[in-house]
Amino acid sequence: MNYLVRIKKVFLILIPFLCVGCLNYIQDVNLYADGSGFMKISYWMQSLGNENSVIAEKIGLFNSDSLRSAFQSQYNTIEDIEVYTDSTDSTMHAIIELSFPSIDSLNNHKSFRDYNFSLKDGAAGQKIFSQFIPPVATGFGVNRSDFSIQYKYTFGGEIITHNAQDNEGRTLIWNYTLDDIGSGKTILVTFKPFKLKQTPYWIYILSGLVLLVVVIFLFRRKKD
């Protein structure tokens, strides 16, 4: 059984015993028009004490080696993995930072196989991006509304249409609880990629004037 399956199965079983209050998950992605990008996954949860912290670490949720094994693949580069405990509020944190050459190829990654990433051409000069958010099963007695899940996408272009709940400029934000997700949700965005900066027209005009002055100068010099 690979680390990812182990993490998922044991995590779902132990949720009622490990959580106090809520678990928070954030997936923050910078996506470019060519499909490449950067992803930061962060999650944190409160701990009942040292014993539960050890259990959570052993099953891989807060163990950097287990997380590295789960997210290592030919489809991405692991930029950084950080696991720490904040003693001020008794929370355990995990942060995984990835870069990828093609978000579509992440569908072949064992950690994202159910996400159905898609980036395709839309209307002239536009791109259409989508991602499926799969349903999450939990143990008996778990308050599903206590789980906070956020997806943030920043696009390298002008946003045309989207189904996000909030936005900060080119950054779109989706916030859900497990009950909100239900049988699954789909992120859907149409954007128009930024073009490479074009040379300003005044540069051409100035170049033309300089060339004209040079030609006139050479012509007069030849006459003299």
Q: Give the pLDDT band of residue 198 (cuts 50, 70, 90).
A: very low
Q: What is the largest CA-CA distance in the chain?
A: 99
The two tokens of residue 32 are 């470019």
Q: Is residue 213 part of a domain?
A: no
> Quick check: is 53 in a domain?
yes
For residue 141, give the H/E element and its range. none
Alpha helices per DSSP H over 19-76:
50-58, 64-71
Mean local confidence (pLDDT), 100-114: 91
Q: Report the number of distinct structural domains present in the chain.
A: 1
pLDDT at 36: 95
Residue 7 reports pLDDT greater than 60: no
Average pLDDT over residues 108-119: 90
- What single-letter DSSP state applies at residue 63? -
Cβ atoms of residues 120 and 128 within 8 Å: yes
Across 179-187, average pLDDT:
89
Q: Is residue 219 part of a domain?
A: no
pLDDT at 91: 83
* pLDDT for position 154: 97
Within 8 A by CB and 6+ apart from 82, the residues are: 64, 93, 94, 95
What tokens does 33 get?
A: 């028009």
Output 6 or 40, whichever has higher pLDDT: 40
Residue 216 covered by a domain: no
pLDDT at 179: 82
60-104 tens-digit pLDDT:
778 888 888 888 999 999 999 999 888 888 788 999 999 999 999
Asked if residue 221 is part of any domain, the answer here is: no
In the predicted model, what is the mean pLDDT of the chain? Answer: 80
What percent of the chain is modeled with pLDDT above 90?
Answer: 41
Is residue 27 domain-resident?
yes
Write down the pLDDT at residue 27: 94
Q: List the domain range (segments joined by +) for residue 125.
A: 3-198
Per-residue pLDDT tens over the stretch 41-59: 998 887 755 555 566 666 6
Structural domain contains residue 217: no
